[in-house]
Amino acid sequence: MTAAVPLDGEAAYVEPETLGLLKRRIPGQSVMEELLDTHARSTGRGLLARVLGVHPLSSESRPWYWGALGERATGRTLASLGPEWTVLHAVPVGEKSADIDHVVIGPTGIFTINAKRHPGQNIWTAKGTFMVAGTRYPYVRNSEHEATRAGKLLSAAVRQNVVATAGIVVVGARQVTVKEKHRTVSVLSQAQLLRWITRRPVVYSPEQVALLSAAAAQPSTWRRTTPLLRDAAEIMGPFEALHQLVEQARRRRIGWLLAAPVAFLASVAGVLPSF
């Protein structure tokens, strides 16, 4: 077994065969896996539907797809953090299918990031309330629970109390209005994310960051039973292929919408008498 020194200086051990497994996860991996599994059970499109640009995803599959896009966008932003930071994606937690979108560990603390994609929508939030175009969502409560849970699990792993800070990153919204800040959860735009993480007082030394990162990268820190972690490479190919189909269908719908007025004008011109 490989020894590691926890924050309080006592000896702790980690299993070398699981060390760092979670570092191989890619942004959105959990939701991409759900998307592909759900899509595999759906009925494919016929030739006419493909020609007309009918959306290739079922109503059941689409939320997983939008979620994957949001997490991937947030992951690209987090990739700009320097080498002193550890960023984990799609961290399986608990004994069910729950996961944490992003866990970030560095000099200024531990952060759990919840990515939410709402393109073109107006976001309003205050006092534990999070509303998208007038509809209430439980994002604040869920993010608060997520950070509390992460803090407890990491505290047990390093044998010293640590605290995780929760953030909700809104991707693609038209406007984000934070009427009043929440007590334990920050609501951010994608552009605010890096500043929110890095512009804080330094609380951990490089050695402490290394220890916390090693503990966080072990699946056993987050779940009693080690989850079956699928290879990211086997997920990325099918997801990218499906993403291309979605984009192709979108372009075809736009093409038909642009073609319709032209066809109408041409038909009108054909029946008008010439002078």
What is the rounded distance in angstroms from the CA atom of residue 167 to the CA atom of residue 192? 11
End-to-end CA distance of the chain: 93
The values of phi and psi at residue 170, to 5°, are -95, 125
The strand pair at 86-92 and 99-106 is best described as: antiparallel
135 forms beta bridges with 132
What is the rounded distance in angstroms from the CA atom of residue 130 to the CA atom of residue 161? 30
Locate the domains of the chain by residue range.
20-227
Least confident of 32-36, 40-44, 212-216, 245-249: 40-44
pLDDT tens digit string along 40-95?
A: 998 888 889 888 889 999 999 999 999 999 999 999 999 999 999 999 999 999 87
pLDDT of residue 268: 57
Residue 27 near residue 71 (C-beta atoms within 8 A): yes
The strand pair at 109-117 and 164-171 is best described as: parallel
pLDDT of residue 51: 87
pLDDT tens digit string along 230-274?
A: 999 999 999 999 999 999 998 999 988 887 675 556 665 665 555
pLDDT of residue 4: 45
What is the rounded distance in angstroms from the CA atom of residue 257 to the CA atom of residue 52? 10
pTM of the model: 0.86
pLDDT tens digit string along 146-167?
A: 999 999 999 999 999 999 999 9
Q: Which amino acid is at 269?
A: A
Confidence of residue 96 (pLDDT cuts 50, 70, 90): confident
Ramachandran bin of 127, using left for φ above 0, alpha for ψ from -120 to 50, beta for the remaining angles:
left
> Tokens 């972690």 map to which residue?
229
For 223-272, the three-class secondary structure string (H helix, E strand, C coil) is CCCCCCCCCHHHHHHHHHHHHHHHHHHHHHHHHHHHHHHHHHHHHHHHHC
Mean per-residue pLDDT over the chain, rounded: 89
Q: Rounded to whole angstroms, what are the CA distances from 163 to 43, 47, 82?
A: 46, 54, 22
Least confident of 11-25, 72-86, 159-173, 192-206: 11-25
pLDDT tens digit string along 164-191?
A: 999 999 999 999 999 999 999 999 999 9
pLDDT of residue 275: 46
**Pure H helices in 129-204:** 139-158, 193-198
pLDDT of residue 6: 56
Residues constituting the chain: 275
The values of phi and psi at residue 230, to 5°, are -80, 150
Angle between helices 29-40 and 62-78 (to 10 degrees): 160
What is the rounded distance in angstroms from the CA atom of residue 127 to the CA atom of residue 19? 40
> At 58, is the secondary structure helix, strand, or coil?
coil
